[in-house]
A = this chain, B = another copy of it.
Amino acid sequence: MLVRTKRNKLEILVDRPLLRRVRDIALEADIPGFTLLPTVGGGGHHGRWSEEMVTGGAGSKVRFMTLIDDATVERLLEKLEPLISEYSLIVTIVQVEKITDDSNDV
């Protein structure tokens, strides 16, 4: 049977060289899972960028996405705060309904 639960879909736009650190911290905060989503470019206060593998990924970004409950959001943000501040990362949170088979929903 399908179960529907309210979850937060939290996304962090991470510079590729930073990815490993973000992931390790997130796993320490006991998230149940994560999915990495690609980007192709962008622009902001610090200028434009586009995916550029040649420069060792220094200028590329990836989105770290995780579906978590409210308590985990707070735990995760607390742990990530130094990284978010230091590297000016952008985090977004959206309310979603998560649907899975009940045997799968841990």
A contact set with B: CB distance below 8 Å: 1-2, 7, 9, 13, 23, 27, 32-45, 50, 61-62, 67, 77, 81, 84-85, 88-101, 103-104, 106
> In the bound complex, do residue A2 and residue B40 qualify as a contact, i.e. CB atoms below 8 Å apart?
no
Name the CB-closest residue of B to A45.
B106
**How far, in whole Å, are A90 and B9 apart by their CA atoms in the complex?**
13
Partner of A38 from the list B2, B40, B89 (CB cut-off 8 Å) is B40
Instruction: Report the minimum CB–CB distance from A98 to chain B (whole Å).
Output: 5
Partner of A97 from the list B92, B99, B101, B103 (CB cut-off 8 Å) is B92
> In the bound complex, do residue A98 and residue B103 qualify as a contact, i.e. CB atoms below 8 Å apart?
no
> In the bound complex, do residue A36 and residue B33 qualify as a contact, i.e. CB atoms below 8 Å apart?
no
Partner of A84 from the list B13, B45, B88, B99 (CB cut-off 8 Å) is B99
